[in-house]
Structure 1
Amino acid sequence: MNNEIQIAPCNPNAINEVKNVLRYLSGLSGKGILTGQHTQTTVQKELHYIEDITGKLPALCGFELLAYSPNINYSDAGEDCLIEVEENKNTLDNAWDWALNKRGLITFTWHWFSPFGSRDKGFYAENTTFDASQAVIAGTEEHTRLIADMDHMAQLLKPFCEQRIPVLWRPFHEAEGDWFWWGVKGPEVARQLYRIMYERYTNYHGLNNLIWVWNSPLAEGYVGDDVCDVISMDLYPPKHTHTDLESEYSRLVKITPANKLTALGEIGVIPSIPMLAETRVPWLWYMTWSNEYGSSEEWTTNEELRGAYNHPYAVTLDKLPKLY
């Protein structure tokens, strides 16, 4: 493996703010870890909980874009789905507040209701007839509708680019699994979907503020060093099991010989910050998932959370330098 961390943006036209973030992350690697928390609603109960327990806020906040999917089938959706969509509406307002007023780092997750053929929670493969293997073929209806949905989301992302706000963009997350429509047809199809989006967003829409995060630990279907800045994986260890996740890191970095920046895209329990401070496994951030994962003691005790956020190795919002 090349020991020099690759920090040049995969997008040659990336704005300076993207370069600032990548440079900062490179310097942080093995010396600290960004605290992170996913939120799904405008209430953001997870942030209130963390601040109440620790007196601090995470350096990195995640925002969910599912309600911005243009093809939600409201007429064939259960109560849980409708509630989830309703509570998620206007989360971009929170993202703007986080970026402009708190100056924290942003990541987006898009549980993408399929471009057509969906019912209920249509981001799940079992709830849609949409065929991702057809969507990667130019000229098909699936491809046309895929691009239309991508373009819809690009318009929502464009103002962040215009304001020069860097965004950690993690599309087609958990591509190794068969639970989402973009993964059910196999890792090669997921790879092609990602590369189609990269081409569309970079060369057509000019979204030069995106930091591209690939989210799968499989070597099969890896998108390629030329289209990603960070490699990541999602993990859900048993409750109250806090480690440095060294074996998982070793698995992830095997997907490419390049020395890429590495991150935990989602995790149920926070990693052990004291252990990471000792072993220096170079996870650059962790993102606790939302709801009970990030707003209760069901997975991480208040004592563990308080200790993590106040550990010298942890980077919280107040420790984050101005990067944009």
Structure 2
Amino acid sequence: MNETMDRYRVEPRLVNPQADEGARRLMAYLCDMYGKHMLLGQQIGVMSTPEFEILHRETGKYPAVGGFDFMNYSPSRVERGSVCEDTELAIRHWNEGGIVTFCWHWNAPKDLIDLPPDRTWGSGFYTKATTFDVDYAMSHPESEEYRLLIRDIDCIAVQLKRLRDAGVPVLWRPLHEARGGWFWWGAKGPKPYLALWHLLYERLTVYHQLNNLIWVWNGEQADWYPGDETVDIIGVDIYPPARDYTPHADRFREALSFTAMNKIIALSENGTLPDPDRMLAENARWAWCCTWYGSFVYKQSERKEHDYSEEFTELAQLRKLYEHPYTLTREDLPDLKTYRLPETEEPGR
């Protein structure tokens, strides 16, 4: 393998030594295809979820990676009446042959500002909509704030256990976009964020024994990196201008620099889709992309069937992606429930 391709040689070992067979099979597949193909993904909407069907209508195919969100399972939203079915939708996507990734727009556990129109409880994951202090919480483990963090993590563990029990491995991307500071978990800088990351990892992996998780870190800057021992995959979120199909090779190389190890690099969120030919030409071979929902995919309409929106990615460009030999859709995936286990594993694991 030449030097430019050596960056894509990743050992299929997960940071959790107790990772279950489903997670290990998925990681083996991701390592096998990394650098050779990019998986096409799509995040579903929160209240309305027409994205998959619109893409199928326009391309004849479904995205390989389905993006879901635990946002409305957050206790401070549930107590205000929110409901969510993302767990059920994710199980269905997996059983139909797809790959599941989850983020968590974690509504702050308390201290929501509730000032309409843009600082309401419904936007309580944003720094602007809460006075919850993550630095205080992580510095005072005896406090109510810390106890509520544990409560919230335990509530999400319930959903992750439902996925585990259904045999679903999860590309788990919590505490995303921390560097930006627009989410409360990144509002106080790297130190409390890193402490929260390690708390989340320990609580889910050790206490709850959730061994179906592949940990995707999406902190976006080196000094927010929690260390190789708790990160399986590095994700980057990029929203370029409309119809700008750049492969973002500079951001890809930056992500490579976050660790001295070879880690899979994914375009964990995008608006406009990158051009596959340019990705290959510039050697920015993201493992998957996951287009955000709503106006990035369709025009708002009162009709039952929404029209595809060309505002960000033109229809011809979308179809090029879904037909390109470099990209993979759900129809192209192998049976991940029986995919080979990594050859590097010790006998008897």
TM-score > 0.5 by shorter chain: yes
* Deviation string, structure 1 residues 22-69 (Cα, Å, up to 9, x no partner): 111111111110000001236421112111111111000011221111
1:91 aligns with 2:86: yes
What does residue 14 of structure 1 align with? 19
- Give % identity: 37
Compared with structure 1, are the counterparts of its residues 206 and 36 closer, same or farther at alpha carbon in structure 2 (3 Å cutoff)? same
Q: Check the 8 A contact 1:37/1:294 in 2, yes or no.
A: no
What does residue 133 of structure 2 align with? 131
Q: Check the 8 A contact 2:87/2:163 in 1, yes or no.
A: no
C-alpha distance in 2, partners of 1:74/1:22? Answer: 36
1:230 aligns with 2:233: yes
Deviation, structure 1 residue 257: 0.8
For the residue of structure 2 that corresponds to 1:220, the secondary structure is helix
One of 42, 48, 66 as aligned partner of 1:61? 66
What does residue 49 of structure 2 align with? 44
What does residue 207 of structure 1 align with? 210
What does residue 323 of structure 2 align with? 310
Tell me the amino acid that sits aligned with residue 135 of structure 2. Answer: S
What does residue 103 of structure 1 align with? 97
C-alpha distance in 2, partners of 1:56/1:280? Answer: 26
Tell me the amino acid that sits aligned with residue 138 of structure 2. Answer: V
Tell me the amino acid that sits aligned with residue 335 of structure 2. Answer: K
Deviation, structure 1 residue 7: 2.4
1:71 aligns with 2:79: no
Tell me the amino acid that sits aligned with residue 143 of structure 1. Answer: Y
What does residue 152 of structure 2 align with? 149
Tell me the amino acid that sits aligned with residue 7 of structure 1. Answer: P
For the residue of structure 2 that corresponds to 1:234, the secondary structure is strand
Deviation, structure 1 residue 163: 2.5
C-alpha distance in 2, partners of 1:182/1:115? Answer: 11
Q: Check the 8 A contact 2:70/2:156 in 1, yes or no.
A: no
- Consecutive aligned runs of 4 or more in structure 1 exceeding 6 Å deviation: none
Which deviates more from structure 2 when the two are superposed, residues 89-98 or residues 225-234? 89-98
Which deviates more from structure 2 when the two are superposed, residues 112-121 or residues 297-306? 112-121
* Deviation string, structure 1 residues 206-236 (Cα, Å, up to 9, x no partner): 1100010000220112011000100111111
One of 27, 32, 39 as aligned partner of 2:37? 32
Q: Check the 8 A contact 1:293/1:300 in 2, yes or no.
A: yes
C-alpha distance in 2, partners of 1:288/1:72? Answer: 25
For the residue of structure 1 that corresponds to 2:77, the secondary structure is coil
What does residue 185 of structure 2 align with? 182
Deviation, structure 1 residue 99: 1.6
C-alpha distance in 1, partners of 2:222/2:107? Answer: 27
What does residue 79 of structure 1 align with? none
Gaps of 5+ in 1: 76-81
Deviation, structure 1 residue 277: 3.5
Deviation, structure 1 residue 287: 0.6
Q: Check the 8 A contact 1:217/1:251 in 2, yes or no.
A: no
1:282 aligns with 2:285: yes
Matches within 5 A, 1:155-304: 155-295=158-298, 296-304=309-317
C-alpha distance in 2, partners of 1:203/1:269? Answer: 38
Tell me the amino acid that sits aligned with residue 63 of structure 1. Answer: F
Q: Check the 8 A contact 2:44/2:68 in 1, yes or no.
A: yes
Gaps of 5+ in 2: 115-119, 299-308, 338-349
Deviation, structure 1 residue 317: 0.4
What does residue 322 of structure 1 align with? 335
